[in-house]
Chains A and B, each alone.
Chain A
Amino acid sequence: GAGVSQSPSNKVTEKGKDVELRCDPISGHTALYWYRQSLGQGLEFLIYFQGNSAPDKSGLPSDRFSAERTGGSVSTLTIQRTQQEDSAVYLCASSFDAYEQYFGPGTRLTVT
C-alpha cells in the first residue's frame, strides 16, 4: 500500500515569498503531524490534526505558519513571507493509533 507522500520534494524560494507544502497521509489514518528538521537538529513538532478536532498548533513558530487538513485527508502547510531561518526539511507523518507514526520523505525548503 501507499505510504505517506509529500510534494514537492524540493522547493527553493526567495525570501518574502509564500510557499505551500502538501502531505498525503496513509488512507485511514486519522492523525496527521507536521514536523521540521533544521540542519543538524532534531525533529521539531509544528502542528497536529486528529480527526475533526481542532488542530494542536502549539508548535508553530510564528503566525506566518498555518496548516489545514481538508476532508480529514490531505494537508497543506503554508509559510507566508518566508525567511532564511525557515530553511529546513519539512516532514509529515500520519498514524492510526496513538503511538507509531509513519513519515513521508519530506520537503526540503531552501529560502534564498
Chain B
Amino acid sequence: DQQVKQNSPSLSVQEGRISILNCDYTNSMFDYFLWYKKYPAEGPTFLISISSIKDKNEDGRFTVFLNKSAKHLSLHIVPSQPGDSAVYFCAASLDNMLTFGGGTRLMVKP
C-alpha cells in the first residue's frame, strides 16, 4: 500500500508558465515533507521542504503548499525554465524515515 503517491507520471509545460506537481499521502502522522529533483544518472537533490505545521513555504521560483485536511501537497514552479526538466519526487518524513512517491517527470519546452 503506497503511503505517498504522485498520480501524474509526467507533465509537460511551456517555458515561462507555471508547473504544478502534486502529491498525496495517507499517513496523517507524517511530520515533514520534502521535494527532490533528479536528473538522469544523478542522485536526487533536495529542493524544498515544509513542516506539517505550515501550509506554505516559498524559495525563489519554488513554492510548496500543504493541505493537511486533504493530505495533499503540491510544488509550484514559476516561471518554469527548460533546466527544470527532471523527475520530481515528493517525500514524507516520520521517525527519521522518508517515504517517497513514484516521481513525476517534468518537461519544460522552450
Contacts and interface: CB of A to CB of B under 8 A. Distances in A.
27 contacts: A4-B43, A31-B96, A33-B98, A35-B100, A42-B6, A42-B89, A42-B101, A42-B102, A45-B97, A56-B97, A95-B96, A98-B95, A98-B96, A99-B32, A99-B34, A100-B34, A100-B46, A100-B49, A101-B46, A101-B98, A102-B46, A103-B43, A103-B44, A105-B42, A105-B43, A106-B41, A106-B43
Interface of A: 4, 31, 33, 35, 41-43, 45, 48, 50, 56, 91, 93, 95, 98-106
A91 B93 contact: no
Nearest to A106: B43
Given A99-B49, A100-B46, 18 more contacts: A42-B6, A42-B100, A42-B101, A42-B102, A43-B44, A43-B89, A43-B91, A45-B98, A45-B100, A48-B97, A91-B43, A91-B44, A98-B93, A98-B96, A99-B32, A99-B34, A106-B41, A106-B43
